[in-house]
């Protein structure tokens, strides 16, 4: 099973969970139960100029990657000023609040795992009546995170040449940057930044977890369950457990996207490549 869609500004709308609990907050759902997903909650969030989001906690793990703008966030009573390329993981039950101190909207991609419950079912977001909304903060200092799970990565940090690129395992020539994983402190999901150079691809394979892909730049050919798609910036693709998929950069420029794993992968046998198992079948069956 798979799902393909495109993010547009028109999809941004007030979210009923936050009604009366903030000002200027909008959300566009990219992946949820209506997409066929069981584990993944993926959306684009926007906080308008001067907007706020009251202090709250979730019964799920949440991560964010800032796409544009600058925003002040409080996490566990610590305040940070974040800008494009900053990202973080907010663990289950962690208090956090947002304020846009500028005039321009701020946008980020956010992932929730386990998937948030549909509206009308049991609650999984709770607001802190004693919590405050941050007013200002210093820029993020990676040497002084105050115990919270925050960092920064942008395209300017992609190394040139073959440095940092995968050289085996079906991913030759692909640049991978793990943003959020077990080593970072996450429990329920992973987030990574990925780049395919022109002509680079990965063969047909599947996984024992769900994946979602939000295209940032370039174009990539995706084959999901035998169906071909050409994905471009703003497109989102989602693959279920067992969905056979492949990617190839057929353009003349790099393609980059943010990718999520929900839940976290097993310790072994993360990839199941179809061609590899066909070779094993020939050896076994003659």
Same domain, 46 and 139: yes
Distance CA 95, CA 62 (A): 12
Residue 233 has pLDDT above 80, yes or no: yes
Are 129 and 213 part of one and the same domain?
no
Tokens 């497109």 map to which residue? Answer: 235
Question: Is the pLDDT score of 18 beyond 80?
Answer: yes
Same domain, 25 and 128: yes
Domain count for the chain, please give it: 2
Mean of pLDDT over the chain? 95
In tens, the pLDDT along 240-270 reads 999 999 999 999 999 999 999 999 999 898 9
Same domain for 206 and 122: no
Report which secondary-structure segment, H or E, holds 109.
strand 106-113
- How many Å apart are CA 124 and CA 29, to the nearest integer? 16
H/E stretch holding 79: strand 78-83
Residues 168 and 270 in one domain: yes
- Among the candidates 152, 169, 196, a domain finishes at 152
Q: Are residues 117 and 191 in the same domain?
A: no
In this prediction, residue 14 has a pLDDT band, given cuts at 50, 70 and 90, of very high
pLDDT tens digits, one per residue of 61-107:
999 999 999 999 999 989 999 999 999 999 999 999 999 999 999 99
pLDDT score, position 173: 77
Domain boundary among 102, 137, 152: 152
What predicted TM-score, i.e. pTM, was given to this entire model? Answer: 0.95
Q: How far is CA 268 from CA 158, 189, 265, 280, in A?
A: 28, 16, 8, 18
- Distance set, CA 10 to CA 27, 105, 183, 255, 285 (Å): 10, 14, 37, 25, 54
In a shared domain, residues 24 and 139: yes
Based on the domain organization, do 42 and 107 belong to the same domain? Answer: yes
Question: What local confidence, expressed as pLDDT, does residue 167 receive?
Answer: 66
Q: What is the CATH number of the domain that holds 49?
A: 2.60.120.10
| Full domain range(s) for residue 169 | 155-285
Q: What percent of the chain has pLDDT over 70?
A: 98
Q: Would you state the pLDDT for residue 88? A: 98
112-158 pLDDT, tens digit per residue, is 999 999 999 999 999 999 889 999 999 999 999 999 999 999 999 99
Whether residue 6 sits in one domain with residue 143:
yes
| Claim to verify: residue 145 and residue 165 sit in the same structural domain | no
Question: Whole-angstrom Cα distance, residue 102 to residue 66?
Answer: 15
| Buried-exposed string 95-134: b where 16+ CB fall within 10 A, e elsewhere | bbbbbbbbeebbbbbbbbbbbbbeeeeeebbebeeeeebb
Q: If you write DSSP's letter for every residue of 251-265 in order, what string do you get?
A: SSS-EEEEEEEESPP
Boundary (domain end) residue, out of 103, 131, 152:
152
User: What DSSP character marks residue 159?
Assistant: P
- Residue 50: other Cβ atoms inside 10 A: 12
Considering the domain architecture, whether residues 145 and 209 belong to the same structural domain is answered as no
Shared-domain flag, residues 6 and 144: yes
């Amino acid at each position: 099973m798979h799902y393909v869609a495109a993010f547009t500004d028109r999809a941004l709308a007030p979210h009923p969970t936050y009604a009366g609990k903030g000002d200027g907050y909008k959300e566009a759902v990219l992946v949820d139960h209506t997409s066929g997903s069981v584990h993944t909650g993926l959306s684009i969030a926007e906080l308008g100029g001067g907007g706020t989001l009251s202090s709250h906690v979730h019964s799920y793990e949440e991560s964010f990657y800032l796409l544009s703008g600058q925003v002040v966030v409080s996490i566990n009573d610590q305040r940070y000023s974040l800008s494009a390329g900053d990202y973080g993981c907010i663990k289950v039950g962690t208090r956090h609040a947002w304020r846009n101190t500028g005039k321009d909207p701020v946008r980020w991609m956010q992932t929730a795992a386990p998937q948030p419950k549909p509206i009308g079912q049991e609650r999984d977001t709770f607001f802190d009546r004693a919590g405050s909304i941050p007013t200002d903060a210093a820029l993020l200092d990676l040497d002084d995170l105050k115990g919270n799970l925050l960092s920064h990565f942008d395209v300017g940090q992609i190394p040139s040449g073959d440095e940092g690129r995968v050289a085996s395992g079906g991913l030759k020539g692909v640049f991978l940057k793990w943003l959020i994983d077990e080593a970072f402190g996450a429990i329920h999901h992973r987030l990574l930044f990925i780049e395919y150079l022109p002509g680079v691809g990965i063969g047909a394979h599947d996984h024992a977890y769900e994946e979602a892909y939000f295209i940032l730049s370039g174009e990539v050919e995706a084959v999901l369950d035998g169906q071909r798609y050409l994905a471009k910036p703003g497109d989102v693709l989602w693959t279920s457990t067992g969905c056979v998929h492949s990617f190839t950069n057929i353009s003349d420029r790099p393609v980059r996207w943010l990718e999520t794993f929900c839940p976290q992968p097993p310790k072994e046998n993360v990839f199941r490549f179809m061609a590899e198992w066909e070779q094993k079948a020939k050896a076994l069956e003659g």
